[in-house]
Amino acid sequence: MAITLSTLNKMKQQGEKFAVLTAYDSTFAHLASAAGVEVLLVGDSLGNVLQGHDSTVPVTLADMVYHTQCVKRGNQGALIMSDLPFMSYATEEQTFESCAALMRAGAHVVKLEGGAWLTESVRKLTERGVPVCVHLGLTPQSVNKFGGYKVQGRDPAERKALIEDSIAAEKAGAAILLYECIPSDLMQEIMGKVSIPVIGIGAGNSTDAQVLVLHDMLGATTRKPAKFVKNFLTGHDNFQAAFAAYVKAVKDGSFPGPEHSFE
């Protein structure tokens, strides 16, 4: 049966965790969704892992549309969430057009990076039938503003802003929240203040779901993996077994462990 936002909300209510994995092509979309991954994220991380850039900034809307179409063809019932790339949601008109392009390509949910400044966009998109995931914490499209890929929410002002942004995003109608690289205790505090499904990466294991980049979880990396990454291909002799192990580890709460989290 196809996974929808209602499925994810029901899973949250029942305390069942769900697994999210990035996918960029039809074959891996098929294998991952058939192995039980509930959400396929067509991430703009494709800029790093497919295109060889050192950030997601060069990724275009046309790239995202193309890879969303590829994922849609292979998908076996997962919810497809696609990233709006850098500067494709800078103005209201552009945001609407970019979302329409992604949803026509096959996205069920669109993901945007940012805090309070996005509130109005989230509200207007939701009103117009576009389910939105708000990505908070380390937002890779802002790497040049941050001066690198750094854990966010460590000082009191940042913590306060992240909590306020989370509440504002839910109030504006966001369907899902995603947090990247924030301390586990801050994540736990936010979990007590929001009621929509929450996905984490490098945010500890209090969230409703975890996401990893496909290439990272298969050990197909050319750089030292980030602290939050685990290679699930280790000990398995095929991709499907690795995906199934990931789904199981997310659901039973054994991934991420403290060694994959920031305190």
Six-digit token string for 168? 């504002």
Q: Which of 38, 113, 170, 180 is catalytic?
A: 180
Nearest CA among 141, 107, 133 for reference residue 209: 133
Q: Does 201 bind ligand KIV (CB under 6 A)?
A: yes
Distance CA 234, CA 252 (A): 19
Q: Does 38 bind ligand KIV (CB under 6 A)?
A: no
Distance CA 225, CA 68 (A): 25
Residue number closest to ligand KIV, CB atom: 43
**Number of chain positions touching ligand KIV (CB under 6 A):** 12
Between the two ends of the chain, the Cα-to-Cα distance in Å is 38
Q: Are 207 and 187 in contact (CB under 8 A)?
A: yes
Give 93 or 246: the residue with its C-beta nearer to ligand KIV: 246
Site string for ligand KIV, 139-178 (x = CB under 6 A): ---------------------------------------x
Interface positions, 91-130, toward ligand KIV (CB under 6 A): none
* 53 CB-side CA count, 13 A: 14
Q: Answer yes or no: 180 catalytic.
A: yes
Instruction: Respond yes or no on whether the N-terminal peptide bond of residue 225 is cis (omega within 30° of 0).
Output: no
Q: Does 45 bind ligand KIV (CB under 6 A)?
A: yes
- So which residues are the catalytic ones? 180
**Contact positions toward ligand KIV, by CB under 6 A?**
22, 41, 43-45, 83, 135, 178, 180, 201, 211, 213
